[in-house]
Structure 1
Amino acid sequence: MDKPIIYQMLPRLWGNTNEKLHKSGTVEENGTGRFKDIDKVTLDYLKSLGVTHIWYTGVLRHATCCDTRGCTPSSSQWVKGNAGSPYSITDYFDVNPYLAVKPEERMAEFRALVRRTHAAGMKVIIDFVPNHVARDYGKFSPKPIRKGRDAQGHPVLGALDDKTVHWKPDNDFFYYPGQSLILPVKGTYKEMPAKASGNIYSPEPTVNDWYDTIKLNYCDFHTDTWDRMYEAVCFWASVGVDGFRCDMVELVPAEFMTWLIKGVKAEFPEVQFIAEVYQKNLYNKYVHEVGFDYLYDKSGLYDALHDIVTGNVNNAGGPIEQWQSARRITWNWQSLGDVQPNMLNFLENHDEQRIASDFFGLDARNSFAALYVSLFFNTAPFMLYFGQEIGERGMDEEGMSGKDGRTTIFDWWSPASLRRLFLSVHGKGELELEEKAVLEKYRKLLAFASEDEAIKKGVTYDLCYCNMYSEGFNIDRHFAFIRKYGEETLLIVSNFEPKDSDISITVPAEAFEWLQISQSDSLNATTPVKVHVPACDGVILNLR
C-alpha cells in the first residue's frame, strides 16, 4: 500500500498569473484561476512529487460578492472578503461558476477535472461542510424554475421551517422569533427572524464569529436534514469524488456522522472520510466508533512541531520551555495508541500559518527537521498545502486576509510565489533560487516517502528515551527513530537546532530484539552510530 500524500490546493489561486493586484480587489481587477488551469501539465507535476490525492478546496458553490462570471452576489455586509469563504456554502449540489470558462457548463468542467485527475493516477478530495451554510443558502438562482430549490431540484434548506419557534426537530435552522439579525458590520441586510450562526447561538454574532454562516439543526436522531446531507455526499461520490474532508465535525452530532459514513460506504465502498477534529480525547471515538478513515492531528503532532520549530528558530539556540521540547513528539505518539496510522500529519493547511512566514519558521528551510518527523515517523498519510514545497510565505496583505502568515482564502489574489510555480511548471518562467532549493528538498523527501518500503509499511522505534545522555544528543532539540521493514532498517534523526550537530545514537538491545535485528560488529547495542545532522534538518541512514 502506498503512503497517502495529499496535496491541498485552492483552484481560485492556481493559474491566476495577474501581477497587477489591488487590495480587496474585484475578480475583474485581480483575476481568478479556473478548473482548466489544473491541466495535465499541473497534474503530472503533482504526480512527480509523489502526490496520491488532491484536495480541491473551494469547489462547492459558496457566497461571494462577485456579480459576473455566472455568479449572483450575496450581501457584502456578511460575505467575508470579495471572493468569500469556501466554507459559506450556497448550494451543496453545485460548483462555483467563476471557476469555469463557461459558467453554464461548470459541472461539465468540474467532471472533466475529476477525469483528468484520475487519468493522472491520483484521487479527488473535496470539502463536506456539514455544520453550516451561507446566510442566503439556495436564494441565488437566476432561473425561476429553481426558485426555492437547489441545483438538484430539492427544496432548499430552511424552506419548510417553522420560523415562529427557536427550535423544532423538523427545522433545518435555529431561529430567534421577534429578533432581527445584528451583524458586526454595518449595512442594510435584513434577516428576520435572526438565525443562529455557524459557531454561536445568538442573534448578534461578533466580528470573531462565523457570521457569514447559519448553523444547521441535526438533533441526535434521524431527521430530514440528515437525508439532505446524505444525498449531497452521495451526489459528489457519483460524480467521481474519492474522498471528503469533513469540516468541523465536532460541531455535528457523532450519531449523524456515523450513520452517514456507514451509508455512503455501503454505496461507495472506496470513498474515504477525513475529519477536522481538535479534541484529542475524541480521536479513538471518531476512528473506531464513527468510522473516519483519517483525522487531523493538529492538536497533537502539528502543534508539537510548530512549537518546537518556533522555539528553536526564534530563540536562536537560547533556552527553551518544556512545551517547546522535542520530547513532545514522543509524548504525542504515546497518547495516540492504535490510531496512529489514522492521523493525517501536516505542517501547513489553509487554516494555519505558513512555515516560511514571520509567525512560524521565518524560512521554509528552518522546517526541514519537522518535515522528517511529520513525513517519515509512521505510516500515516501526509498532507502539504500548495506552495509549501517552494516556501510560499503567506505575507501578502490581500484584503479580508491581512498580513497574517496565511495565504488568503477570502480574496481574489495571485501570490507571487504561486505565479512563479505555475509558470515554472508550464515552462514559461523560473522559480527563485531559494524556491528551487526548497522544491528540490521536498522532491527528494516526498519521493523517498512514496517509494521506500520501510517508510510506507514499516514499524517505528523511538530512540529518544535511551539517548538522553548520549554524546551530542539534546533531548529537547533532537529526535531520533528507526523505521524497519523486512531486511531494511533506517535510522532517521532530526536536528531542530539552528546549528549543525554531531550526535552519537545508541540503539539499545531491546530495539534489536523488538525489531528482530541481529547484532553485528558494525551495528550493535554497545557501539553508538555517529551522525552529522545539518542545522534545522534531518538525515536518513540505512543501517542494513
Structure 2
Amino acid sequence: MSAVCYEVYPRSFGDSDQDGNGDLEGARQHLDHLEWLGIDCIWICPFYPSPMRDNGYDITDFCGVDPQFGTMADFDRLLADAHARGMKVIVDWVPNHTSSDHPWFVEARSARESARREWYYWRDEPNNWRAALGAGSTWTLDEQTEQYYLHFFYASQPDLNWYHPDVEAAMHQTLRFWLDRGVDGFRIDSTQCLGKDLTFADDDRCLAGEAINKINDHPYTHEILRKVRRLTDSYDGDRVLVGEVNLRQEARIVQYYGSGDELQLTFNFPPLDAPWDPIVWRMIIAEIERRLGPADAWPVWTLSNHDNSRLRTRYGGSIRRTRAAAVLLLTLRGTVFLYQGEELGLRDLDLRRSEMVDPAGRDGSRGPIPWTADPPHGWGPSPWLPFPPDAGTESVEAQRADDDSVLHLYRRLIRIRHSSRALRYGSWTDLDLRPGVLAYRRRLGEEEFVVLINFMDADREVPLEGDWQVHVDSVAFQGKGELAPYHGVVAAEQALLLAPASAAGRAQTDVATED
C-alpha cells in the first residue's frame, strides 16, 4: 500500500513503430527506465478502441486494444514483462459512460423500444444539470427518438444506467476480462458519478455554474462499489481499486473507502490545486491525517496527472521549487502516484488554441517524453504533440548522465523511501520551526526522519535539537543549520546538524538504502 506508482499516458510515453503516436510496445520497451527509477506499480491510461473524441475516455469496446496502441498480444507482453520486474499493473476502468459510437448506445438510440434503451438515461425534458469541461447541458436531444440522453461529460459520452441489472452484469464482465488476463487492479474513472438522483431534481449549484460531476455524490454509488470490491476480492492475490473521487472534500472522499469493503485507495485532489505556500500545505497534510487516520483509510498523494498542469508549470517554472516539491511528495505517509515526466522536471507545452488536440485544452501536460537528447528524442519524425521545452537537456538520456539532475533526485528519494518503514508507514508530526518552512517528523518505533522544506526565496535557519545527517537534499548547499531558498531536506539524527551530503555521500546512501 505504500507503493510508488507511475502513470503511463500511452500516447505520449513510448513510440515503438516511429509513427509519432505512443503505443503499448513503446511502453514495454521503456520498462527498464521505470525499474531503474524504483517504480512499484504502473497505471496505464485508456488504450481501448475509441473514436478519441476525449483522448480514449470515450470507449467503444471495454475489452479490446485500439489499433493505434497495438494489439492484445502487445498488452500481454507488457503485463508479463512488468510482472517479471516486480511491478504491478493497473488499468483504467471507465464505468460511468461509453462512447456514443459504442454498439450498446447505437442500439439504445435506434428506437424507444430498443432492448438496451434503459441501459442509458432518457428524458422528455432536460433539467438544469451542467456537464463537465464546459460542455454545456448534461442533456442532448436525440432527434431520431425525440428524447434527451444524459451525459455528465461530452455529448459523445452517454452515461450508463447502473440501476439496470444488465448494465451491472455487462460491466462486471469487463472487470473479469482484465482480471483473468492478470491485471492487478483498476483506476476507476469519475467514481463519484455512478449513482444518480433518479428524480433528476434541478440543482441550484448548477445554476451558479458548477458542473454536476463535481457535486454528484449519491448513496447508490457505494452499493455499486461494494459489489465491485466483492468481485475483485474473489480473485487470488492482491487486487486494488483506486478511485478518482473528484469531490475536493476529504470528509466526503473518506466515505468511499467504506468499512474496508469499497475502494482501497482514492486520489487526494487538494494538492493539485495547492499554491506554493507552506501554510496551505500544512493544512492539507493535517486534514488528510485527521480524516483518514481514524477511518483506517490509506492516503494517496500526487502532484500532477494527465488532466492538470505539470508541477513545474504550476510552480512558476522554478526548477528549485520542483525539486523541493519532490522531497515533499515522497516523504508523506501513503501511496504516491507519479505522472510520467515529472521525474524529469518537465514543463507544460506552450500551445496556441488552434494547436490543441484535446477539446478542453488539457494538452499542456501531455507532450511526448523525450528519451534521447538529440531530436526526434526517441520518437518518429512527427509526434502527435510537440515536445516539452528544452527536451534535449531535460531528456532521460541527458539526466541519466547527470548525478545532480531531477531524475537522480527522484531515484534517491524513491530508494530511501523503500528502505525506510518510518517514511512509508510512520506517524506524521508537524514541526512549526520557522515561518516559511514546512517541517515535519516521520517516526516508526526508533526510526525517525525529519523533513524540511523551505518555501522562501531566502536562506532560513532551522533550529533542530541534536545532530542530524542529511540523507537526501534537493540542492547542494554548504550552510550548516540553514536551508537554501526553495530547499528540501530529508535528515536523520546521528551526525552534524544539516551536514550537506556530498556526491560521494549520496552514492553511499544509495547503496545503504537498496532493498
Same fold (TM over 0.5): yes
Q: Does 1:355 align with 2:282?
A: no
Tell me the secondary structure at the aligned position of residue 356 of structure 1. Answer: helix
Tell me the secondary structure at the aligned position of residue 38 of structure 1. Answer: helix
Alpha-carbon distance in 2 for matches of 1:117, 1:193: 49
Match in the other structure for 1:218: 162
Give TM-score, length-normalised by structure 1. Answer: 0.69
Match in the other structure for 1:238: 180
Match in the other structure for 2:378: none
Q: List per-residue Cα deviations over 1:168-194 (Å, max 9, x = no partner).
A: 998111124599xxx98xxxx976445
Match in the other structure for 2:89: 124
Pair 195,245 (structure 1): closer, same or farther in 2 beyond 3 Å? farther
Alpha-carbon distance in 2 for matches of 1:121, 1:238: 19
Match in the other structure for 1:98: 68
The structure, 1 or 2, with the larger RCO (C-alpha pairs under 8 Å, 6+ apart) is 1
Match in the other structure for 2:292: 336
Matching of residues 262-301 of structure 1 within 5 Å:
262-277=230-245, 278=247, 279-289=249-259, 290-299=261-270, 301=271
Q: List per-residue Cα deviations over 1:4-25 (Å, max 9, x = no partner).
A: 0110011111224999xxxxxx
Q: Does 1:482 align with 2:482?
A: no
Pair 340,87 (structure 1): closer, same or farther in 2 beyond 3 Å? farther
Alpha-carbon distance in 2 for matches of 1:32, 1:169: 35
The partner residue of 1:458 within 426, 433, 441 is 426
Provide the aligned C-alpha RMSD in A: 3.6
Length, aligned pairs only = 424
Q: List per-residue Cα deviations over 1:293-328 (Å, max 9, x = no partner).
A: 1110113x443xx22x1x58xxxxxxxxx7x46444
Q: List per-residue Cα deviations over 1:277-299 (Å, max 9, x = no partner).
A: 12422233211345211110113
Tell me the secondary structure at the aligned position of residue 62 of structure 2. Answer: strand
The partner residue of 2:26 within 13, 34, 37 is 37
Alpha-carbon distance in 1 for matches of 2:236, 2:50: 26
Contact 2:45 2:92 in 1 (8 A): yes
The partner residue of 1:535 within 485, 488, 498 is 485
Pair 432,112 (structure 1): closer, same or farther in 2 beyond 3 Å? closer
Match in the other structure for 2:324: 369
Contact 1:354 1:405 in 2 (8 A): no
The partner residue of 1:159 within 107, 130, 136 is 107
Alpha-carbon distance in 2 for matches of 1:111, 1:337: 38
Per-residue deviation, 1:349: 0.8
Contact 2:306 2:339 in 1 (8 A): yes
Per-residue deviation, 1:232: 0.3
Q: List per-residue Cα deviations over 1:432-489 (Å, max 9, x = no partner).
A: 999972212212112211222321232332223xx4xxxxx11xx2221112234322
Contact 1:459 1:483 in 2 (8 A): yes
Q: List per-residue Cα deviations over 1:177-223 (Å, max 9, x = no partner).
A: 599xxx98xxxx97644553431xxxxxxxxx52221011112xx61
Per-residue deviation, 1:493: 1.2
Match in the other structure for 1:198: 151
Alpha-carbon distance in 2 for matches of 1:283, 1:479: 25
Counterpart AA for 1:38: A
Alpha-carbon distance in 2 for matches of 1:500, 1:122: 40
Alpha-carbon distance in 2 for matches of 1:50, 1:432: 14
Per-residue deviation, 1:340: 7.0
Percentage of pairs with the same residue: 24
Pair 191,55 (structure 1): closer, same or farther in 2 beyond 3 Å? farther
Contact 1:387 1:417 in 2 (8 A): no
Contact 1:370 1:496 in 2 (8 A): no
Q: List per-residue Cα deviations over 1:505-526 (Å, max 9, x = no partner).
A: 46xxxxxxxxxxxxxx869xxx
Per-residue deviation, 1:416: 4.4
Pair 462,113 (structure 1): closer, same or farther in 2 beyond 3 Å? same
Q: Does 1:86 align with 2:56?
A: yes
Per-residue deviation, 1:372: 2.5
Per-residue deviation, 1:336: 3.1
Tell me the secondary structure at the aligned position of residue 63 of structure 1. Answer: coil
Tell me the secondary structure at the aligned position of residue 93 of structure 1. Answer: coil
Alpha-carbon distance in 1 for matches of 2:454, 2:144: 55
Q: List per-residue Cα deviations over 1:374-427 (Å, max 9, x = no partner).
A: 32121x1101111111122122324234876732499932524697599x65xx
Q: List per-residue Cα deviations over 1:148-174 (Å, max 9, x = no partner).
A: xxxxxxxx35636895389x9981111
* Worse-superposed segment, 367-376 or 170-179: 170-179
Counterpart AA for 1:296: F
Alpha-carbon distance in 2 for matches of 1:194, 1:413: 38
The partner residue of 2:229 within 244, 251, 261 is 261
Pair 434,212 (structure 1): closer, same or farther in 2 beyond 3 Å? farther
Per-residue deviation, 1:500: 2.4
Pair 363,327 (structure 1): closer, same or farther in 2 beyond 3 Å? same
Q: List per-residue Cα deviations over 1:79-130 (Å, max 9, x = no partner).
A: 2xxxx42211111111111111xxxxx1111111111111121111110111
Q: Does 1:399 align with 2:356?
A: yes
Give TM-score, length-normalised by structure 2. Answer: 0.73
